[in-house]
Amino acid sequence: MNYIYLYVGIIFLIVFLYAKRQRRIHDANSTELKEATQAGLNEPASLHPIINPTRCFGSGSCVAACPEEALGIINGKAVLKNASACIGHGACLAACPVDAIKLVFGTEKRGVDIPNVTPQFESNVPGIFIAGELGGMGLIRKAAEQGRQAIRSIQKQRGGSVHFDYDVVIVGCGPAGLSSGLSSIHHKLRYKLIEQEDSLGGSVYHYPRQKIAMTAPFELDLIGTVKFTEVQKETLLDFWLDVVKKTGLNISFREQMESIESIDDRFVVRTNRGSYSTRSVLLTMGRRGTPRKLEVPGEETSKVTYRLIDPAQYKGLSVLVVGGGDSALEAAISLADQPDTEVILSYRSAAFSRVKQKNRLLLEQQVATGKLRVMLNSKVSEIHANHVLIEVNGKAQPYRNDAVIVCAGGLLPTPLLQKMGVAFETKYGSE
């Protein structure tokens, strides 16, 4: 009989400890969700998971698979507790044992415009194809596959006269653009691959250092099966660079598309470097868009950039960071850690309303140590060789300056494409 009491006691203790642990997890995740909601951080920026609560039984496999810690268990169900941390790599979808997760764009409150395309990735405008993130696919492996399939569709349409410069002009050099460039070589198409920035990789390039860019095996023409399953940003970018070197893929960096015009049986793609006639256009740019500019005198100078790559290069300089989002705060914080670097963070509004709590705290710490100066309700009015003019309450004051980093978001080419007749559908949390 004593053994029975012992067994019952052990079982009771196990159940008690398990319940206590689950309550602790629930409370921690509930608090994080509440803080994210109050800070305006629970509106996902891009592709993200939604969980069907009737199917989810709280196994936690999706939570364990998410390297960004964006998911948590609340009341026994998986919940997107920190949507701003989600980068849409889809590890949670693959990990869910009961198919309770789907990846979507947009929410009930904030719609996202996605172009309508056929199964062959052709838009409603014949000859204009869309693949990858712009078309609603942020996953690396699927974006690469879409680029490959889109070129296959373009190759099948090839024929007739050749009185134009290219068979296809590819705009954007992320996973979809790189894959489509390789496929163009494979199918012996005359191609032009342009990228508005000075680097390849698309959105992956802009991930923080050592961020997991989670992917899965996928096929590349000329290369074969790429067997990555979990990979850091730097490793993936090095792989892409090696592919370009081995295959001779030709990429025109710092070339930005300005317009696409349909003339008779061809398109004319105009860029900041020239114009090209082509049978088809394949748009593979990401959803970060063209960097939003300040539109002030002096912005065209080389001291102005639109992202922070290596904080160490600004050691000992006076740097101005412009913006009020997480990217701006993270840039200012990392710059303030550099020896002898003076940092000013300028933001046009009265408060940082949509930033992570962690960044708020780090910013406050840097301000308290005097390493960083925050100027709210301010705007840059002029940029000069050795100083900038920053306006506060209608009065502009000069500040010593060696470099300006603008982190003000990006502008998607949606108006340009709509002008050409490309149809969009606004997604409100649907596939």
Question: Global pTM?
Answer: 0.74
Residue owning tokens 């990789």? 201
Summarize the confidence of residues 335-361 as an average pLDDT.
87
Inform me whether the pLDDT recorded for 79 exceeds 80.
yes
Give dist(CA 45, CA 355) in Å, integer.
Answer: 12
Give the model's pLDDT for residue 404: 95
Phi and psi at residue 75, to the nearest 5°: 55, 35
Summarize the confidence of residues 326-353 as an average pLDDT.
90
Which residue from 330, 333, 409 is spatially nearest to 367, judged by alpha carbons? Answer: 333
More confident residue, 27 or 321: 321
Q: 136 - beta bridge partners?
A: none
Inform me whether the pLDDT recorded for 425 exceeds 60.
yes
Phi and psi at residue 143, to the nearest 5°: -65, -45
**Residue 400's pLDDT band (boundaries 50, 70, 90)?**
very high
End-to-end, the C-alpha distance of the chain in Å comes to: 59
Summarize the confidence of residues 134-156 as an average pLDDT.
87
Give the model's pLDDT for residue 380: 95
**Residue 335's pLDDT band (boundaries 50, 70, 90)?**
very high
Give dist(CA 334, CA 170) in Å, integer.
Answer: 35
Residue range 92-125, pLDDT digits in tens = 888 889 888 888 877 767 777 788 888 899 999 9
Summarize the confidence of residues 142-150 as an average pLDDT.
91
In the sheet that holds 318-322, the strands lie side by side as: 304-305, 403-406, 318-322, 342-346, 372-375
Summarize the confidence of residues 189-214 as an average pLDDT.
78
Angle at CA of residue 92, ends 74 and 47, nearest 5°: 100
Element (H, E) at 253: strand 251-253
Give the model's pLDDT for residue 420: 84
Residue 291 has a CB neighbour count (10 Å cut-off) of 16
Which one is the CATH code of 2-104: 3.40.1190.20, 3.20.20.70, 1.10.1740.10, 3.30.70.20? 3.30.70.20
Q: Where in the chain is the domain with CATH 3.50.50.60?
A: 113-289+412-427, 304-410
Give dist(CA 293, CA 296) in Å, integer.
Answer: 8
Give the model's pLDDT for residue 314: 93
Give the model's pLDDT for residue 15: 74
Inform me whether the pLDDT recorded for 6 exceeds 80.
no
Element (H, E) at 156: helix 140-157
Q: Are 120 and 157 in contact (CB under 8 A)?
A: no
Look up the CATH architecture of domain 113-289+412-427: 3-Layer(bba) Sandwich (3.50)
Give dist(CA 32, CA 79) in Å, integer.
Answer: 11
Inform me whether the pLDDT recorded for 12 exceeds 80.
no
**Residue 185's pLDDT band (boundaries 50, 70, 90)?**
very high
Give dist(CA 232, CA 249) in Å, integer.
Answer: 23
Inform me whether the pLDDT recorded for 332 exceeds 80.
yes
Give the model's pLDDT for residue 162: 64
Inform me whether the pLDDT recorded for 408 exceeds 80.
yes
DSSP per-residue codes, 81-126: --GGG-----HHHHH-TT--EEEEB--SSS-EEEE-B-TTSBBSST
Residue range 53-75, pLDDT digits in tens = 899 888 889 888 887 778 888 88
Element (H, E) at 327: helix 326-336
DSSP state of 303: T
**Residue 192's pLDDT band (boundaries 50, 70, 90)?**
very high
Name the residue type at position 100: A
State percent of the chain over pLDDT 90: 38
Give the model's pLDDT for residue 209: 67
Q: Where in the chain is the domain with CATH 3.30.70.20?
A: 2-104
* CATH code, 304-410: 3.50.50.60
Least confident stretch, 45-49, 114-118, 417-421: 45-49
3-class DSSP string for 362-413: HHHHHHHCCCEEEECCEEEEEECCCEEEEEECCEEEEEECCEEEECCCEECC
Residue range 265-322, pLDDT digits in tens = 889 999 999 999 999 999 998 777 678 889 999 999 989 988 887 888 999 999 999 9
Inform me whether the pLDDT recorded for 214 exceeds 70.
no
Give dist(CA 280, CA 284) in Å, integer.
Answer: 13
Question: In the chain, how many H helices and how many E strands?
Answer: 9, 25
DSSP reduced 3-state for 76: coil
> Which residues, at least 6 apart from 95, have a Cβ–Cβ distance to it below 8 Å?
61, 62, 64, 65
Give the model's pLDDT for residue 325: 84
